């Protein structure tokens, strides 16, 4: 079964640490060893893994993505949110993390971040667990 | 078993919607619940997920990738197609999507796009399904 | 079980071909068909797949990432290594590759590259294999 997590972004762009929510799904499902896939079913949001200790790291990633994909340019898409679409394809729509002894094998400084690029709005994240046989 | 899909690009750069072809493999293999990995065994092509409603979204992604990775620059690679190599590493060579009740858990506006960066040519895409136990 | 590979980078930025090490884990574990996830538990390193024939391809990817994410800029993170953090989120922290008949289904010219962005240092790479049932 896939588990659904609802997230509410509060600003246009926002990286939200969902590590605890994902680990919570693993705890609930009782998986010991396998794979965890965190999937974002949206086209103007993505997901990435990076440092969760100094918030300036995430701030710098958000800021630099704005430099790489400016808010205004010769975009054609009628809704005017092409930067959000482009950024979501640059960071990606899923992360895959090994599970061992019931824990995500994240590195010491790693967190899982839902990347809102066109908020604020309610979003879903899908957590799919594959048990190792 | 891995299933192979052959795709033929018709221009140098082209994003090709392969969602139906991937769902077709799931239907053929009869998988109900699990994971779908779509893998691109090339170095000048990639794969991404984004909006399949307004074609200008994909057009804006292609156009902006050209801005980020210009066709000419101080590249060394003798074949002269380094922009295609760089873009493929930026978008990535695989996507992983949960399957439930025989369907890809894509978002309402999501499609799977093969990203040709050095066409036109014949390409392969590998679809690997993992059944949930 | 997850297998751990130790890698030692020797310069600040370095792409290290780890294809043979990953295939070695598959050989050791005796997996015939399934999925191979190569996961990087770091926040200033990543992993990508690209050409392993002409070393200038990897050189051009490294060089262009430096253009996209310059070493100095208005970064806030106190450690001063934000470019490494940003690059790791651009290339990603895992790759997922199908396995068939005991072999990674890499394309003819593909290699798996550990991407060091803040070396030199000792790093770990996690290889997780999922057996197809």
pTM beyond 0.90, yes or no:
yes
The two three-digit tokens of residue A121, written as one number: 């709005």
B119 — pLDDT class (breaks 50, 70, 90)? very high
Q: CA-CA distance, A53 to A41, in Å (whole number)?
A: 27
Helix H or strand E encompassing A111: strand A110-116
Residue A46 dihedral angles phi and psi, to the nearest 5°: -145, -165
Confidence of residue A133 (pLDDT cuts 50, 70, 90): confident
Subunits adjacent to chain A (3 or more Cβ pairs under 8 Å): B, C
Within 8 A by CB and 6+ apart from A104, the residues are A19, A22, A23, A26, A36, A97, A98, A112
Mean pLDDT of C90-94: 98
Which range of residues forms the domain containing residue A26?
A: 2-131
All residues at 6 or more sequence positions from C24 whose CB lies less than 8 Å from its CB, including other chains:
none
pLDDT in tens, A105-129: 999 999 999 999 999 999 999 999 9
Question: What average pLDDT does range C10-33 have in this prediction?
Answer: 98
What pLDDT is attached to residue A46? 98
Closest-CA distance of chain A to residue B60, Å: 6
Phi, psi of B78 (to 5 degrees): -60, -30
Residues of chain A in Cβ contact (below 8 Å) with chain C: 33-35, 48-51, 54, 56-57, 59-61, 63-64, 68, 90-92, 95-98, 100, 105-110, 130, 132-133
Q: Say if CB B113 and CB B48 are below 8 A apart.
A: yes
Q: Which pLDDT score is estimated for C133?
A: 79
Number of domains in chain B: 1
Is A70 exposed, middle or buried, given 0-12, 13-18 or 19+ CB atoms closer than 10 A? exposed
Chain C interface, mutation test: which of A61, A65, A130, most C Cβ atoms within 10 Å? A61
Taking the C-alpha atoms of residue A132 and residue A31, their distance in angstroms, rounded to an integer, is 9
Whether the pLDDT of residue C24 is over 80: the answer is yes
Q: How far is the first Cα of chain A from the last one, in angstroms, to the nearest whole number?
A: 16
Q: How far is B125 from chain A (nearest CA, A)?
A: 18
Q: Which chain A residue has the Cα nearest residue B106?
A: A41
The model's pLDDT over A81-94, given as tens digits with 9 standing for 90+, comes to 999 999 999 999 99
Q: Smallest Cβ distance to C50: which of B73, B89, B133?
A: B89
Q: How many CB atoms lie within 10 A of CB C42?
A: 28
Residue B54's beta-bridge partner residues?
none
The pLDDT value recorded for residue B1 is 76
Measured CB to CB, residues of chain C less than 8 Å from chain A are: 1-2, 35, 37, 39-43, 68-69, 73-79, 82, 85-86, 88-90, 92-94, 96, 126, 128, 130-131, 133
Nearest by CB to residue A68, choosing from B50, B51, B68, is B68
pLDDT at position B71, please? Answer: 96
* Neighboring chain C residues of B73 at a CB cutoff of 8 Å: 64
Arithmetic mean of pLDDT over chain B? 97
Per DSSP, the three-state class of A25 is helix
- For B70, name the nearest residue in chain C, comparing CA atoms only: C64
CATH number of A49's domain = 2.60.120.460
ipTM here: 0.97
Task: Place B31 in a pLDDT band, splitting at 50, 70 and 90.
Answer: very high
3-state secondary structure chain B: CEEEEEEECCCCCEEEECHHHHHHHHHHHCCCCEEEEEECCCCCEEEEEEECCCHHHHHHHHHHHHHHCCCCCCCCCCCCCHHHHHHHHHHCCEEEEEEECCEECCCCCEEEEEEECCCCCEEEEEEEEEECC
Question: What integer best gives the mean pLDDT of chain C?
Answer: 97
Predicted local confidence at residue B53, as pLDDT? 97
């Amino acid at each position: 079964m896939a588990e659904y997590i609802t997230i509410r972004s509060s600003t246009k762009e926002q990286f939200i640490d969902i590590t605890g929510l994902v680990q919570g799904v693993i705890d609930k499902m009782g998986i010991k060893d396998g794979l965890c896939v965190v999937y974002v079913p949206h086209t103007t949001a993505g997901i990435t893994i990076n440092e969760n200790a100094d918030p300036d790291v995430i701030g710098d990633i958000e800021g630099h993505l704005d430099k790489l994909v400016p808010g205004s340019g010769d975009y054609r898409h009628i809704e005017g949110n092409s930067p959000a679409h482009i950024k979501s394809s640059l960071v990606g729509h899923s992360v895959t993390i090994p599970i061992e002894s019931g824990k995500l094998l994240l590195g010491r400084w790693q967190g899982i971040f839902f990347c809102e690029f066109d908020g604020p709005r309610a979003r879903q994240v899908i957590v799919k667990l594959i048990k190792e046989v």
